[in-house]
Structure 1
Amino acid sequence: MKQKKRPNQHRTTWLVLACFLLFLHVRPQPTEPSDGNLQSYFVRALTLRNENRIDLAFDTLKKATEKAEEMEDVKALADTYHQIAILNLRINKDRAAEFYWDRAKVLLDNLSYPYGKAMHKYIEALFLFKEGKNFQGIYAFNESRKLSNDRNLSNNIVLAEAEIYAKIEKFDSAIKNFNFLLSNNDLYEQDYLKTRGYLGLARVNIAMGDLEESIKHGEQALAIARKNKFAAEILQANELLSYSNEEIGEFKAAIIHQRNIMNIKDSVFTTAKVKAEAKTADKIQYEFMQEEIKRQEAEISDLRESQNRSEITAILTSAFLTIISILAISLYRNNQIKLKTNDLLHTKNKELESARDAAVQAVEAKTNFLSTVSHELRTPLYAVTGLTHLLLEENPTSKQLEHLNALKFSGDYLLNFINDILQINKIDADKLEILSIEFSLKKVLTEVIDSLRQSANQNNTQLILDFDNKIPTGLMSDPIKLSQVFMNLVGNAIKFTKEGQVNIIAKLVEQKDEEATIYFEVKDSGIGISEEKIDSIFDSFEQGSVQINRKYGGTGLGLTIVKSLLGLFESKIEVKSQLGKGSSFFFNLNMKCKNEVVDDTPFEVAKKDYQLAGLHVLVVEDNKINQVITKKMLKKREITCDIANNGYEAIDHAKANRYDAVLMDIHMPGISGDEATKEIRKFDKETPIIALTAISLDDSLEAFYAAGCNDVVTKPFDPEVFYQKIGENIFDRNLKNAAS
């Protein structure tokens, strides 16, 4: 029986080009022209490019080039060269693309223009990807991202990386990036990026054998592409839908899409159109070169007018002969050097590849080890903390209460220790990314201080916030990670300060346009740090001394986490301290700022007293001890439950019964919790599903939500948090549905 080919196996040349062109949609960045005309050229060229009207896009960019030269706007001229280079890459005119890319580089060498240099590095990444150098391309995309925070450029880098991940079959990373694009708020290419996101998900679904999901995503891509006249994407969506429908036996739908493909190729992707695009590109390059020749001829004419013709001829002839002689000698010597260098580079490359492979294997081994250890420790910890909670509620004797409180303290300490190690290694493994969302800095610091005030009161220590009112009220950064930094710094200061004070200081250093530099300091009057220990306190498991560790406790990981988190913000923490007189930890942070006031929601939602009695839930858990503990915890609040021992039983229970909620363990034998969730969501869209997981280094909260979970609770959990989550997802969700 002849095997049917997938759509990405038809006509290899076309698809290689189509896949590569996914990366060629970066917004031209207007450079504040003196009037609005130049920006309108860029926007029109972008629209034409996305509609695959390449010849008209070339014409529009040519007019933009002329306008930029007339205005003497060098930045805009570099942008137009970049966009012409991208269009040439789209029609496989690589040499022409490289020509304009080099012309842009000449202009950028003498400019302070971060966006232009980011764009230049982005196009370099496109060249690398086209040459099959995937990992070098990813590195170049990351370098481009560091040079500019332009939203459109960042979105297209996400798209580019998604396509590379899909190509090398890292499907989880590809799905994460494509899903990100579905909710983008790009000013210029929102619909285009959504279309590419749906198409990417459809291709990944096919590769993973989920044809129904592929059809769903393909139809969503086709609808947006038709609405916006994205010709290339309309063709790709029809090809994917034709294949997927044929594979599941929907031959009528497959034939309709196949007819659409034939009509599109006949009307849009004709040889005449390709020739017209190539002709337009050649014409623009020819005219540009002709202008260069005219400029050089003008310079020669000026030289002839100022010098005697015969002298010039003699000088030029002599210079020509000298240059030819030097070039001949240099060419020979360079050729010899090149041969030796190539041999040396070949040897060094082999050594570097071996070293890189060894390093990658070591990192993967460390990651896998930590992932396993984290999960294996959290599972028995769930039993310890859960049983302790249950026993504390059963009216223990005073002596038993003392032992149970000690057991609870030990369990909490061990859990914090595991969390600290996992946090550090997530940073080391590049598992954490800095968000950029609007927040109120004063609210973040106030919430940190409020949460630690009880610990400060136990030490008779004052917490004082010195906040500069000149700091903009609306800032853009990652408030969650900032709160982690200050929780560790302030908590550390409180621990080593008795009957003293801890000052939390925030001062505005400078503000330029939409950039603000803010100085932070946490200063205490505690025991201080000896001079010989200052350089080592940021190392893992380091404290001032063995005596300090025994007296004050702790893991010595707090400052390591602070240093690692600030590294993500491209900031560095510094310290001044005097033994017996206190310590001061300080650093600067650069943030984007806005003028409007931001009213953040707090990091912890206010607790509500939900009436949970009478609820009936499904508990999906493979560990027998955990089943007993979870069931007892639910019974405490008069909640009944059914037990499913694995994902298959969970699906069967969900089909046969109606539950108020499903409590889904993630790590189980057979099929995992997120896979079981996906299956349940195919026939039940409404029942809240809460993931209960001993989360590990490789787990992704985004993946849980993408699978269909409504919320995530990390094991071992605080029982009150557990009850709160159940109430929120059942009662608050019902209220929201009723209101809508």
Structure 2
Amino acid sequence: MSHFKYYIFVFLACFCSLIFSQQESVEDTDTLTLQLENHLVQAKIDSDRGKYYDAQDNLDKALTIATKIDDKVNQGKIHTKIAKVQFLVNKPDLATISLHTALKIQREINDYTNLAITYNIKGVIHSNLEEYDYALQYFNSAKNLFEQEDLEEFISDVSLNEAKIFIAQKRYEEAKSRLERTIIIAKKFNQDDRLSSALIQSAKVSDALNKTDLALSQAEEGLSIAKEHNILANVNEAYVALSDIHHNHKDFERSYYYIKEHIKLSDSILNIKRNNIPSGMSGENIDRYKDAENAQLKAQIEEVNAESAFTRITTILSIALITILSLLTLSLYKNNNIRLNTNTMLHKKNDELIVAKEKAELASKTKANFLSTVTHELRTPLYAVTGITNMLLDEEPKEHQIPHLKSLKFSGDYLLTFINDILQINKIEANKVELDPENFNLKNKLENVISALSNSANDQNTKIHFDYEKGLPENYIGDQLKISQILINLLGNAIKFTKDGDIWVKAYKIDVKDNTYNLRFEIEDNGIGITKEKQGQMFDSFSQGSVQINRKYGGTGLGLSIVKGLIQILKGKIYLKSELGKGTTFFFELPLEYDKEAEKPKTQDVKKVNKMDSLDLSNVKILIVEDNKINQMITKKILNKMNLYCDVVDNGEAAVEKVKEVTYDVVLMDIHMPGISGLEATKIIRTFDKELTIFALTAVTLEDKMHEFGEAGFNDIISKPFKQEDFESKLHAALSGEKIVSSYFS
């Protein structure tokens, strides 16, 4: 029984301890939260007074607390506030880093209100750097989110920021409409700062539109409000505006008066800022402090000479002790200063490293953006070529037109492959290109490549001979697109450097192991040949036989580098044999898996079933979001052919509004558009509609951006130009209620 009591006692003790620890934890959290709020309030006061370094210090302390208590909302807000301070002290690179961190946190936790505030701040920074297109995109995103969250009072600031850009760009009518909206909202919510600023900006617009009386009236009203509420920045801006207006209309006396007022106020503001710069004790002050201490000690020593010996000794010992303590204090003070200076230097060095890292990341991002833009610009017309070709093939063309259309389709498909591989050359070198094996007929593949390039050969008066080993199986499993590009590059080179000659394309077996055939391909020509000195460099990027050859025959010199990279990825090897004036032979070997199933005789033709025919499409509505008119026409025609109804809009803002008004089953969203991007439009739609199926119908390079598409809320990606069967398959899954499993996001 005593044991039982003991266990009961232990249990109660543990329980009480747990309760007390939880209570202490809650109290600790409450205390930390209170400290965090105090730091934020103090940071606001410091910032308003121009004490930016003190504000930064308080914000850093607040961020430490927010991180400790895992307060994600405040973490995001604080990073945004830090960015504002960093920009005010002329550190735009650090401000950009802080804003990126804030955006990441706010997107993760769906904090749309503060995300919109961060977008607005980012827009202001881009605007100050005169990156107006970027700034307007961020202002648009901010405005849409504020509207979505029903936060009208915040929109006045965004509209005011937009107006300032339009004034800088001399787009006065657009500026005027934004300022009118700002004034309405500012009056509604008693926003004196924004109201006075909007009136001053309106004065600039009116003056530019030759409405002098209105301009003066607006500027004076803005000045009056700014003075009443002691908004010095706006007072100063009003002085400049009034000086400019009077100067433009030859009233030089009034212009001079306001510019003098501006200079006087600017000096006052500058003095306030100087007074707010934190100052520590300088080396000179330390020396003075030491001299004062020594003088005081000397006086004390002289004073005790008249006292008794015992008193003198006691006093001297006391003075010595005081001296030692003073010196220790002074030493500690100096050490503390040295440590602070060292920490400052370390922080500065750390900041420099962060900036350097950010610049490197920015350079990498710039390169990625460049490649993305190039891809988009090339794929967009290709989408038109392949789309129109497919439509013409489906519209019962004349018999003699079919070979030409098929040749056009083949060329378009492989041009797309070529573009993709050109843009992925860095990935090829890094072995990051993924294989896409599928069943294909090798003999047909070779014949198609030869057929596609036969016109070029005919132009050179060159004959192509094809030799496919007798008895060699035709059907294999492999990445046929990469094999096609290898063949196109090598055969294209042979044609380019062979005039009035012959080219031989050969395919034969080296050996067979299990179910894998090791095949050798030869592309032989009797053209100009390659010197022995140049043969070792032919697979290097941008390498040509000589400057003269480059001028005469053209080309980038990337083809053979891509070929070598692709063959290595396919686990093959390549080499060449050449003699100047007698021709060149390229040999490459590839292991290919034999496709036994394809060789089996077919008992009957199986008619291809269109899965869309099984669905009732009468009430289905699809929204196409695409800014390119040709692409709009092609996508709409493809959908109409499938008996699908669709609407078309040409920008992200219109897409958001349309989705609010109409119930759609599927949205096909382009990415690069004027205004907000498809990514931002999708994020906004997801704030009020989580269930709508949204496909990214895009021509951008996707490999490095999968997480962005998934995070934005896309269900899947349809890459332009798309295969008709893939397009139909994904639409069928969406419209039939199947669960969409994207290979891009898995």
Q: TM-score, normalised by structure 2?
A: 0.38
Give the structure with higher Rg (CA): 2
